[in-house]
Amino acid sequence: MLRKITIITILMVLDFVVLHSQINQDSIQNQEQKDTIIVLENDTTALQNDTTVLQNDTTTLQVDSVFLARQKFIADSLHKRKLIKDSVVFLQKELPKLLEAAARAESEAIVISYENVNIIGDSALDNFSYRILTRNISGPYTPWLKKVVLSAKNIKIEIDTTSKSITKFSKSKKHYKFSYSDDKKVVAINKRGSIISKKGKNYYKLPIDSVFFDENNKITMIKTYIHYFNATKNYRKSDFLYFDIDKIKKFKYFTDGVLSYYEIIKYCSRWDGGAENKQCHIVTNNIIREGNKFTVKEHNKPENKFSDGTFIYEFDDSLNLKSMEFKGADKHISKMCFVELNKEGNVSRYLFKKDGFINRTLMINYNDNPNADYKYEIITCYYEKDRVCYFQKNNRTGQSRRRDRLTLKWSKWK
């Protein structure tokens, strides 16, 4: 939207200059036609003097006209520039709150911090960025750092100037519509609907999140509903049928605004609106923070032996992940992962530790060529008890190779 505003402003300025030039030409031609002088035989001297005065007056009028037009152009430019800057300042204030609500509604990740959205120049916004306690310890780049590039060309934002509120935000496959309670402490987020099939019939499914804020604009609860409609033959939404409550998320914070408690209540799906909407699964996360170290104690009901237990995350001073450790509640599962970064700040290697030594690593190679078919590839190295890797697998191609135990030479990839 900001780029469109800028382009429209430039086109308006160009149209104004062309129009002003045409007005000057028309004015001069009309002046030449109206200033017809009747010449008398004995008044040639007076005629020459009058003509000189008229020429001087015409020149003065032309200079004044140019000066006034320039003044108006400058005033219009400053006004339009101020409007653009005011719009960007408004978005800088209001948009992060909505993007945080959308991110928390869509993901179950634990968010530990948000970065301020800065203004680039006076006409664009920088990235919306936040950090999470990721469970993905195999992904490329920085899985703990999430970004929304607000200067991207495909972003569209709609604003209701009467209520001074953002009503729509879209980017790539993300589409959100926002509506507000009177005090703006509750924001409803309508996401894109989809067609589903039940018992051989098509239905239209529309997810809606109700996000609740406290007096400090911190999110305290999110209720996710699924509204079901009949679908027409051309897969359009028809009459309303019923709605399910899908999940409820609850949040508590330390005094400085960092998350301290996170609960998710999930409900069972129903085939129709007649059955009871029952709870199926509850997970609670109690968070302890010590500097750049976060300890999360997770409990599932019913239990889940793969995630019930304690997760320990350690970050460096730039809040880049250094290590993640998991200790199962039944003490049968224990694993630890260390993270190494390259000079660009992306993950170059994950090292997995088990029974006191490194048993596996993931090496990530990046391809910065803009014409490359792939941007990265991940190679898994399996170590044995002598702490030597004898087998590698390329996760992108599926090829693998082995190492000779005597010569330590690698075979070809195949």
Q: Which residues contact 58 (CB under 8 A, 6 or more apart)?
A: 28, 31
Residue range 42-56, pLDDT digits in tens: 444 444 555 554 555
Average pLDDT over residues 90-111: 94
226 strand-pairing partners? 207, 244
Least confident segment among 191-195, 248-252, 337-341: 191-195
Distance CA 407, CA 414 (A): 20
pLDDT computed for residue 23 by the predictor: 34
Between vectors from CA 345 to CA 368 and to CA 120, what angle results, nearest 5°? 85
Give DSSP secondary structure letters for 315-355: E-TT--EEEEEEEETTSS-EEEEEEEE-TTSSEEEEEEEET
In this predicted model, which residue has the larger pLDDT, 359 or 22?
Answer: 359
Average pLDDT, the chain: 83
Give the tens place of pLDDT for each residue, 21-36.
333 434 434 444 433 3
Least confident of 81-95, 165-179, 354-368: 81-95
* pLDDT above 50 (res 233): yes
In sequence order, which residues have a C-beta less than 8 Å from that of residue 190 and are 6 or more positions away? 176, 177, 178, 179, 206, 207, 208
Spatial neighbors of 375 by CB under 8 A, at least 6 apart, are 140, 366, 367
Residues 6+ apart with CB under 8 A from 117: 92, 95, 96, 125, 126, 127, 128, 150
- pTM for the model stands at 0.77
177 vs 3 pLDDT, higher one? 177
Q: Which residue has the higher pLDDT, 9 or 115?
A: 115
* pLDDT at site 71: 73
User: Which pLDDT belongs to residue 7?
Assistant: 33
Between 44 and 123, the higher pLDDT residue: 123
* Residue 385 confidence (pLDDT): 85
pLDDT band of residue 58 (cuts 50, 70, 90) is low
> What's the half-sphere exposure (Cβ side, CA atoms, 13 Å) at 4?
8
CB neighbour list of residue 368: distance below 8 Å, 6 or more residues apart: none
Predicted confidence (pLDDT) at residue 377 exceeds the cutoff of 70: yes
pLDDT of residue 52: 55
pLDDT at 164 over 50: yes
Question: What is the average pLDDT across 104-123?
Answer: 90
Least confident of 73-87, 118-132, 159-173, 239-253: 73-87
> What pLDDT band is residue 151 in, cutting at 50, 70 and 90?
confident
